[in-house]
Amino acid sequence: MANQHDVPLTGYQPNLQTWFDYMTGGHDRGLLLEMLHDDVVFRSPVVHTPQEGKAITFAYLSAAGNTLGNGSFKYTKVFDCGDKAVLEFESEMDGIHINGIDMIEWDENGKITDFKVMVRPLKAIQTVHAAMGKMLEQMKAEA
């Protein structure tokens, strides 16, 4: 994926830099799996309960990479807070403008322990929900 981001994606603390390397390096699924803590919690904008564990978080983030992570995805603001980061992003899906935030926390070993995604506006949430559902079903069928 080409770097089409509005902000530079280099020069950050090592944990965040690894995330940006994953995002700009073609979404290496092995690297993603390596970044996740066994007890990571994923908080989705469309699923009511927190999703706990490496396997489910890996599935959601992989599906997001295959849907939201299209050619229009870009980070527009970065708040690097050491073991936490807030990353604002924009993307477009099916002609719908998506604006969202990734909130990531790491442990002392550099593993992601908490990943929260928030998306706006409502039409964007509906579009992401539909696309993620389809992608998760496709990934399940391919497994």
| Domain extent for 26 | 14-142
Contact 75/87 with Cβ under 8 angstroms? Answer: yes
Domain annotation covers residue 4: no
What is the band of 101 on the pLDDT scale with cuts at 50, 70, 90? Answer: very high
Q: Identify which has the larger pLDDT, 134 or 15.
A: 15
Domain annotation covers residue 107: yes
Domain annotation covers residue 110: yes
Give the rounded percent of residues in the chain with a pLDDT score beyond 70: 93
- Once rounded to an integer, what is the mean pLDDT over residues 127-141? 74
Domain annotation covers residue 3: no
Domain annotation covers residue 104: yes
For residue 60, report the phi and psi dihedrals to the nearest 5 degrees. Answer: -65, -45
Domain annotation covers residue 8: no
Domain annotation covers residue 47: yes
Q: Identify which has the larger pLDDT, 17 or 28.
A: 17
What is the band of 17 on the pLDDT scale with cuts at 50, 70, 90? Answer: very high
pLDDT at residue 124 in the model: 83
Mean pLDDT across the chain, nearest whole number? Answer: 87
Domain annotation covers residue 70: yes
- Once rounded to an integer, what is the mean pLDDT over residues 22-39? 91
Contact 87/101 with Cβ under 8 angstroms? Answer: yes
We report the CATH number of the domain holding residue 81 as 3.10.450.50
Split into its structural domains, the chain has a count of: 1
pLDDT at residue 3 in the model: 43
Structure tokens at 82: 């050491």
